[in-house]
Structure 1
Amino acid sequence: MPEISRRTLVGGGVALSGAVLLSACSRSDAAPSLITPGDDVIDATEAARTSTGREREFALTAAESEFDLGGTRVRTWSYGDSLPGPELRVSAGDTVIATLVNDLPDPTTVHWHGLALRNDMDGVPHLTQDQVAPGERYTYRFVAANAGTHWFHPHVGTQFDRGLYAPIIVEDPDEPLAYDQEWVIVLDDWLDGVENTPDEVLEELRAGMDGGGHSMGGGGGPMRMGATLMGAVSDLLGGDAGDVYYPMYLVSGRPPNDPRAFEAAPGDRVRIRLINASADTAYRVSLGGHTMTVTHTDGYAVEHAEADALLVGMGERFDVLVTLADGVFPFVALAEGKDANGFALVRTGSGSAPRADVRPEELDGRILVATDLTADEGVRLSAAEPDVVHEIELTGSMADFDWGLNGRAYDHEDPTAAAFAIAQGQRVRLVLNNTTDMWHPMHLHGHHVQIGTDGPRKDTVNVLPGQTLTCDFDADNPGRWMTHCHNLYHGESGMMGVVAYTT
């Protein structure tokens, strides 16, 4: 297991400046007024973004669908008739015009994960927009300002643990990397339509574990109790690896017994864009017989680093370069701690395909986690003391499934009741302190933080049990922005909050 970089750890004694929840204001103090998604400053910020002047129009139809997953037919919800949904590809500065048609039986939205876009297009019900009702449509229009590997999904209930997800790739017009081919890989843990629906799983988890919590396996490996997974353990994740039993793990919509095959020529240099669209699963990813060069995470460049395997949490993205050898090679996404994997093939020549349960030696080689990386100098934040510090404790337990931030569960009807207030132009520091026994991939909408003084720029950061991470960002995108655990079931059970700009 790689050591956690010292840049990611902070001790006690963090000085707080302005880290006061709105609900904690005294009766004699008027609560600060918050910017709303309809305020003029949102339009002004959008108008100031660098734009190519090009408009790219897309149609997204969310509908009930059916797929054959390696011989198992499942009913689910998806964008169109593909799994994942159709990839959207634009250049940085293009204006995206995406019309969502809701043919689902329930309301939905689209959240553009990783894009620092205008606040009223962020797709969070009760916070940035109304839900799109069944039979209705809604047009998202925004400048895709930041290049990188991103994705989109609903922000309503458990919907993205169905088939409602797809990549959005924002190309860099000044791309510095040289490569021959590109391969976009979307990882997913799948249960919808097999034995349960995601809503049924959430209901079971909320019913609790009779006070027993997770069994840590005792060396016997993970086991299931209904839809709940017991004893899934990973040192890389600081102990407990996840809550939910999944019958299969998909690589770009295909299970291990019916894998996708990427074809190239020996010696081709390939850019692999990795997206983890799972709801409850981190993956240890490797390409058998190859070393990966990590170039980006969450769309931002890092100092290039060599790795045999990567740990990819829910919501995270990595870009890597690989020079392909001659033959047939396994791409393996090991479901961390869960004793199962996703699988695909790379073919550059003749040879027999490896078994779907193969475990390449690279999985136990140099394993890189995001906090091992250093931000490329060109994207690193300038040195500055924070103007405001918000200390955010991650709280709750598996036994009671009472996840929250600072001991408080998110209120969908009044989401800004306990907002973390910031102001335009401030250097903001979020101190994420995980007081729970589980890891949490924490995602901030509309911004990219820097971990520590020179760590990577990211929008999704994995916080291990007992770990504290300092995350800085510049407040340059006004609005009301969700911050939450991207374990879907933790977030929906309360581990969500709002970072809100004041007027």
Structure 2
Amino acid sequence: MPGNRPLDVQLSRRQMLQLGTGMAVLGLAGACSSPDATEGAIGPDSPQVRAYAEAEARRFPGGTPVAYALTAAQTDVDIAGTRTAAWLYNTQLPGPILRATVGDRVQVRFRNQLPDPTTVHWHGLAIRNDMDGVPDVTQAPIPAGDEFVYDFIPPDPGTYWYHTHGDLQRGRGLYGALIVDDPRAAAAYDTEFVVALSDWLTDRTPTQVFDQLRGGGMASMPGPDMTSAALGGDAGDVRYPVYLVNGRPPADPAVFTARPGQRARIRLINAGDDTAFRVALGGHRLTVTDTDGFPVEPVDTDSVLIGMGERYDAVVTLQDGVFPLVAVAEGKGAQGFAVVRTGGGAAPDLAVTPGELTAPPLTVADLRATDAARLPVVDPSVTLEASLGGDMKRYTWTVNGQAYPDHAPLAVHSDQRVRLVYTNTTTMWHPMHLHGHTFAVARSDGSGPRKDTVIVLPGQTVAVDIDTTNPGQWITHCHNDYHLAAGMATIFSYLS
């Protein structure tokens, strides 16, 4: 049973510059210092990255070509009768669900019709470094009016998502689900609900909120109504006027339909900027089966706590009727709301509080990786420290004492077992994400779940184990978009 116990142990602050086609993509990676002058950073255009891509193509020789087109553009959306300015993919909120099968050759032609440069990041996928979508690290920013073709092979099944990695752009609406199916696995469910959760500003932009935070504006700072025991204290930095489920507010909820007795797979994605959600389906218990795309030993729970960037999959046998799917904005006194309908009847009140929300939620501490998903138990060949710090008065967030883009790279070599230790010295919680890899939450018996994003509570340490099999320059950062913009990031840097 889940318990209320500790959890296991967008881009830079500057405006992105429109760069010419001749720019060296290693703007940051190439600046990484090395402990040995004879060693150099393995960049996205390196022979090692090309060799990785070729090896992946050989590993999946029968992959089917899958083509998508994405266009990012300015528009506006109707949020419960209020028109709100937005930046969207294909004019949709969230963006369209992209779907592929393990081993497919996915090509996404991306067009940037925004006024600013941008990129697209494929969150959670261990793909080739030059397709990861981080400006100035893995590629040049895509200028306004230009396009870029992302070309990659998804190696693992599961629930993933895509989003901009431009500075403070995600909160304007640039996100969507990416589902990778397993051709070898029989579906253990009858229907599927893809559920993207987000926090939404109606009268300000994320950049305006960030400027207010930097200026010490108390309207966006934690108060008595923004605390959570489950998150170790402060729940967030920003009060939002509305919380969305699949782009819909509680007053105009998304509706998921099925038949009584069907087994539904619920794919939960937290695409928010500053909000953790406690999710429950009224009248039902959830059986959590996966987190961040990888399977865990099934565990039953009334609710699950999901931080920004995390994903949880759960299955549930649906009852007959109409039920609330509630995503409480943890510690913020509000909630997102959707409806699951399997029969007749009136929809629940949008302010309903299901009884399932009263017990402590499931967290990563309650999860164990399946045998097939576990990393082998070996001693790490190197241990790296990532100390998370911050100065709330100046609203600066740091890794190892430096605010990105200033950073001391975390240097690794290929074919190592690396233990990365995130230590939170602040009074805020941080959902820490590593690009290009799926790590194991470190446990002595090897049972830690495989993840790419993990919550680190105030004053706590979370250690993760990583097999360095994907060369390149990879950012690791807090997935609170305001903390990232204020500097909480560094580079996990492969050296030759």
Matched ranges for 1:106-117 at <5 A: 106-117=116-127
Partner of 1:69: 79
Partner of 1:249: 243
1:323: how far off? 0.3
Give distance in 2, aligned partners of 1:360 and 1:135. 47
Matched ranges for 1:98-497 at <5 A: 98-191=108-201, 194-208=202-216, 225-231=218-224, 232-365=226-359, 367-411=361-405, 418-453=408-443, 454-497=447-490
Give distance in 2, aligned partners of 1:439 and 1:169. 28
Partner of 2:96: 86
Give, as a single letter, the amino acid of the residue that structure 1 aligns with 2:142: V
1:46: how far off? 1.5
Give distance in 2, aligned partners of 1:397 and 1:293. 40
Give, as a single letter, the amino acid of the residue that structure 2 aligns with 1:428: V
Give distance in 1, aligned partners of 2:370 and 2:38. 39
1:446: how far off? 0.3
Is 1:60–1:80's contact at 8 Å kept on the other side of the alignment? yes
Q: Which piece of structure 1 moves more, 355-364 or 395-404?
A: 395-404
Is 1:22–1:31's contact at 8 Å kept on the other side of the alignment? no
Scaled by the length of structure 1, what TM-score is found? 0.90
Give distance in 1, aligned partners of 2:145 and 2:83. 26
Give distance in 2, aligned partners of 1:500 and 1:113. 18
Give distance in 2, aligned partners of 1:142 and 1:24. 29
Partner of 1:34: 41
1:207: how far off? 1.5
Per-residue CA shift, 1:213-234, capped at 9, x if unaligned? xxxxxxxxxxxx4344423100
Is 1:307–1:366's contact at 8 Å kept on the other side of the alignment? no
Per-residue CA shift, 1:359-407, capped at 9, x if unaligned? 0010113520122100111010001000110011100033321100011
Partner of 1:502: 495
Give distance in 2, aligned partners of 1:31 and 1:4. 46
Is 1:397–1:437's contact at 8 Å kept on the other side of the alignment? no
Give, as a single letter, the amino acid of the residue that structure 1 aligns with 2:476: T
Q: How many aligned residue pairs are there?
A: 467
Match of 1:368, SS? coil
Match of 2:96, SS? coil
Among 103, 107, 113, which residue is 1:97 paired with? 107
1:353: how far off? 1.1
Is 1:107–1:134's contact at 8 Å kept on the other side of the alignment? yes
Give, as a single letter, the amino acid of the residue that structure 1 aligns with 2:410: F
Match of 1:396, SS? strand
Partner of 2:3: 2
1:53: how far off? 2.6
Scaled by the length of structure 2, what TM-score is found? 0.92
Give, as a single letter, the amino acid of the residue that structure 1 aligns with 2:72: A
Match of 1:87, SS? strand
Give, as a single letter, the amino acid of the residue that structure 1 aligns with 2:308: M
Give, as a single letter, the amino acid of the residue that structure 2 aligns with 1:433: T
Give distance in 1, aligned partners of 2:270 and 2:442. 23
Give, as a single letter, the amino acid of the residue that structure 1 aligns with 2:54: A
Per-residue CA shift, 1:113-159, capped at 9, x if unaligned? 01100000011111100001011000000111111101111111000
Is 1:280–1:487's contact at 8 Å kept on the other side of the alignment? yes
Match of 1:433, SS? strand
Give distance in 2, aligned partners of 1:419 and 1:112. 22
Match of 1:44, SS? helix
Q: Extract structure 1 runs of 4+ deviating beyond 4 A.
A: 21-25
1:66: how far off? 1.2
Is 1:4–1:372's contact at 8 Å kept on the other side of the alignment? no
Is 2:68–2:109's contact at 8 Å kept on the other side of the alignment? yes
Is 2:416–2:468's contact at 8 Å kept on the other side of the alignment? yes
Give distance in 2, aligned partners of 1:317 and 1:404. 25
Partner of 2:53: 46
Give distance in 2, aligned partners of 1:293 and 1:287. 11
Give distance in 2, aligned partners of 1:56 and 1:319. 24
Structure 2: unaligned runs, 5 residues or longer = 10-30
Per-residue CA shift, 1:282-325, capped at 9, x if unaligned? 00000000000000000000000001000000000000001000
Partner of 1:221: none
Give, as a single letter, the amino acid of the residue that structure 2 aligns with 1:183: F
Give distance in 1, aligned partners of 2:319 and 2:373. 32
Give distance in 2, aligned partners of 1:65 and 1:371. 41
Distance 1:394 1:24, change over 3 A: farther
Partner of 2:19: none
Give, as a single letter, the amino acid of the residue that structure 1 aligns with 2:124: G
Give distance in 1, aligned partners of 2:382 and 2:95. 40
Per-residue CA shift, 1:61-113, capped at 9, x if unaligned? 00001111111111110001211011100001001100110110110100000
